[in-house]
Structure 1
Amino acid sequence: MPIILVVIIRSTIAFFALLVLIRIIGKQQVSQLTFFDYTVGITIGSMASTLSIQLNENLTSTLAGMVTWTVLAILVAIIGIHSARLEKIVVGEPEIVIQNGKIVEENLKKNRITISELLSELRVQGVFNIEDVEFALIEPDGKISVQKKSQKQPVTPSDLNLPTQYDGLPTVLIIDGVVQESALRSINLTKAWLYHQLEKQNIKDTEIFLAQLDTKGNLYVDLKEDNRYFIIDTTN
């Protein structure tokens, strides 16, 4: 068999094996990526690349290695749910880097974070003055969590005892000119209703890049290839 064909076959096997194993490990690996998760992912991916192009490597043995790493990662995650000590060892725990507006230099050095990096992370979260910070913690995934001082936090309706309306998730009705009929059915609406709303602004569905309906009855419509958008009140 030609070498190129062997590589194609082994690459296809590696691709789908990696896809299946990553799906088995779960979304937690991506949404809450820790250094341990990163290492596991890199190792399994490295095995997949080896399986793909290292023709002298045994196919079955490499697949067995990938499966073993996947099973171990899942077992550690399951045990970590029931064992705080293991979770602390594998995942780590948050550490305070700012307390009552004062930088905890020891924890910065321990986590090898420079002042410039800390200030950059604070700016990303809208904090430009360390004096405004009550607490800042570095999470196990390397992100910085910030709690502002009470007098620096924005006022909310509950602070003013103001009533608010329910604000749920909007429903996407049109994507790139294609009406999402299942989405319409999920909120008990029809295409005829949708076309009637679009006619208020003389808009055709094929002209729309995105249309979504919020829970207050406002239909947001963004047109293709221009800067125009419309908000149609469907309650009238």
Structure 2
Amino acid sequence: MPTWVEIMLRTLSAVSILFIMTKILGKRQVSQLSLFEYITGASLGNISAYIALDSDQKWYLGVLALATWVLVSVLMEYATLWSRWVRGIVDGKGTVLVEKGTIIKKNMNKVRVTLDEFMMQMRGNSIQQLADVEYAVMEANGEITFLLTKEQQPLTAKTLGLTVQPEREPQSVVMDGFVIEDTLRRSGFNRIWLSKQLSENGVDLDEVYLAQVDDTGKITIQTGDRAIP
């Protein structure tokens, strides 16, 4: 077999195997990865490259290494579910940076966050001054979460002493011109009602890009170039 054909086949096999292994591991955003998961991801990528390019070695050894990494990672995930102590080591813990409106400098130094970086994170959360912050915590994934003082927190129905009815998620009943029958039924309507709504708004079904029904029964329609409330 020519070398270039072997490399192509090994690359396709490595990609397929890596995809299957990643599906087994589950999915998280990069910002949500723990240190161990980050190391696992980098190692899996390196091993896959080895499988694809190192034609002097037996390819199945790379697959064995991949399977071992995935097994260790899965076992570690279960260990973090069962043990708080293991979870603290693998995933880490949050670090309080601001407590009762006061910056804790030793914790800032511990996590190596400068004031400039901290202020940038504040502005990214639409906070302009430290006096508005009650607590700030650097989470295990490196993100900083802020709790505003009560005076700066947005008003809610509970704050105002109001009782509101629970709200249901809007249901998509038409997507790309096709009716989603089960969603339409769950919303308590049928095709006759939908056709009437479209007719009243002067829209044909094949023109509808997206149509949603809220918990009050009101429909909103989005065509390719306009929205019809």
TM-score, normalising length: structure 1: 0.88
1:138 equivalent in alignment to 2:143: no
Moved more, 65-74 or 51-60: 51-60
Does the 8 Å CA contact 1:97/1:137 hold for their aligned counterparts? yes
TM-score, normalising length: structure 2: 0.91
Residue 192 of structure 1: CA displacement?
Answer: 2.8
Moved more, 26-35 or 66-75: 26-35
Paired AA for residue 156 in structure 1: T
Aligned partners of 1:116, 1:205: CA distance in 2, in Å?
53
Aligned residues: 229
Matched residue, 1:193: 193
Does the 8 Å CA contact 2:132/2:148 hold for their aligned counterparts? yes
Paired AA for residue 33 in structure 1: L
Does the 8 Å CA contact 2:31/2:141 hold for their aligned counterparts? no
CA RMSD of aligned residues (A): 2.0
Counterpart secondary structure, 1:119 = helix
Instruction: Give me the identity figure in percent.
Output: 28
Counterpart secondary structure, 2:126 = coil
Matched residue, 2:227: 229
Residue 46 of structure 1: CA displacement?
Answer: 2.1
The 1:57–1:173 alpha-carbon spacing in structure 2 relative to 1, beyond 3 Å, is farther
| Structure 1 residues 25-40: aligned runs within 5 Å | 25-27=25-27, 32-40=32-40
Q: Please list every run of 5 or more consecutive structure 2 residues that lacks an aligned counterpart in the other structure.
A: none
Structure 1 runs of 4+ aligned residues shifted over 4 Å read 28-31
The 1:56–1:216 alpha-carbon spacing in structure 2 relative to 1, beyond 3 Å, is farther
Matched residue, 1:160: 160
Q: Please list every run of 5 or more consecutive structure 1 residues that lacks an aligned counterpart in the other structure.
A: 232-236
Aligned partners of 2:113, 2:196: CA distance in 1, in Å?
57
Matched residue, 2:173: 173
Paired AA for residue 83 in structure 1: S
Residue 188 of structure 1: CA displacement?
Answer: 4.4
